[in-house]
Amino acid sequence: MRLLPSGDKAILVDCADAGEARVWAAFLGEHLPVTLGAQTVLVHANRAEVQRLVAELEQDKTATVVNTQSREHTLAVSYDGPDLNLVAKHTGLGASEIVEAHTSAILTVGFSGFAPGFAYLVDGDARLTVPRLAAPRPNVAAGSVALAGAFSGIYPRESAGGWLIIGHTREWLWDLSRDQPARLQPGDTVRFEAIG
C-alpha cells in the first residue's frame, strides 16, 4: 500500500488489489470521506490525518475493518442481449455457456462510478473478459446487463455506453426516493439468475 498526493486536499491510497482497497475504504471511511476505486481509495483529508489512521490500524492488528453492512442480492436477468454473439466470438463460448458462467459467479461490488448507481462488479468468471465496443452506443436501456474488461455491470438508467450487453433486468438500481438511492453498494455481493 502506498500513499500518493492527490492535490492539496486529498491522498490516494494505492492498494495491491480490490480486496485490500475495500478494507482500507471501510476503515478510513469510518473517520474521513472516501471514494473507492478499483484498487485505490481517494481520501479527502491531508496526508498527516491519513498517516495517523494508517499507523493506528497497523498497530492494532485486531481492528475490525471489514464492511459488515454488505448485503447479498439476487437479480433476475433475461439473457437476450444484442451482444451475446459478440461475447461468444471473443470468448469462444456458446450462448448457454456464457449464461452459465455469468450465473455461476458470486460477484462483488468493487466500486461505483460512471453514472449514479452504476456498480462495477468484480470476481466474475475470467472467461468472460471482453473488450469494450470500439464506438459506444448513444443509448443503452436502463437495466442492461453488460460486460467490459473483467467487469460486469448493470446500467441503472438510460445512458450512452460501450459495454457488451448480454441481458436485461427489471430490478431497480437507482431510486432517488429511497434513503439509499443506489441499491448496490461497494462490498455487496451479486448473483444473477436467468429467467425466461
Of 13, 34, 59, the one marking the end of a domain is: 59
124 in a domain, yes or no? yes
65 in a domain, yes or no? no
Identify whether residues 80 and 6 lie together within a single domain.
no
79 in a domain, yes or no? yes
Of 59, 80, 105, the one marking the end of a domain is: 59
Which pLDDT band, with edges at 50, 70 and 90, does 61 fall under?
very low
66 in a domain, yes or no? no
Number of separate domains in the chain: 2
Domain assignment of residue 76, given as a range = 72-195
64 in a domain, yes or no? no
pLDDT at 63 over 70: no
pLDDT at 49 over 60: yes
Q: What is the pLDDT of residues 106-144, one digit of tens each?
A: 999 988 888 889 999 998 999 999 999 999 999 999 999
- How far apart are alpha carbons 166 and 147 in whole angstroms? 7
* CATH number of the domain enclosing 14: 3.30.1360.40
pLDDT at 68 over 80: no
Tell me, what amino acid is at 182?
A
> Are 143 and 155 contacting, i.e. CB atoms less than 8 angstroms apart?
yes
User: Looking at residues 20-26, what average pLDDT do you find?
Assistant: 82
* CATH number of the domain enclosing 97: 2.40.100.10
Burial (0-12, 13-18, 19+ Cβ within 10 Å), 57: middle
CB contact set of 72 (below 8 Å; sequence gap of 6+)? 188, 189, 190, 191
Which pLDDT band, with edges at 50, 70 and 90, does 60 fall under?
low
Residue percentage of the chain with pLDDT more than 90? 54
Between residues 164 and 45, which one has the greater pLDDT?
A: 164
List the strands of the sheet with 40-43, edge to edge. Answer: 2-5, 11-14, 40-43, 34-36
Q: What is the pLDDT of residues 162-190, one digit of tens each?
A: 999 999 999 989 989 988 888 998 889 99
Identify whether residues 121 and 152 lie together within a single domain.
yes
The pairing of strands 137-140 and 159-161 is: antiparallel
67 in a domain, yes or no? no
User: Looking at residues 146-161, what average pLDDT do you find?
Assistant: 96
135 in a domain, yes or no? yes
Identify whether residues 118 and 184 lie together within a single domain.
yes
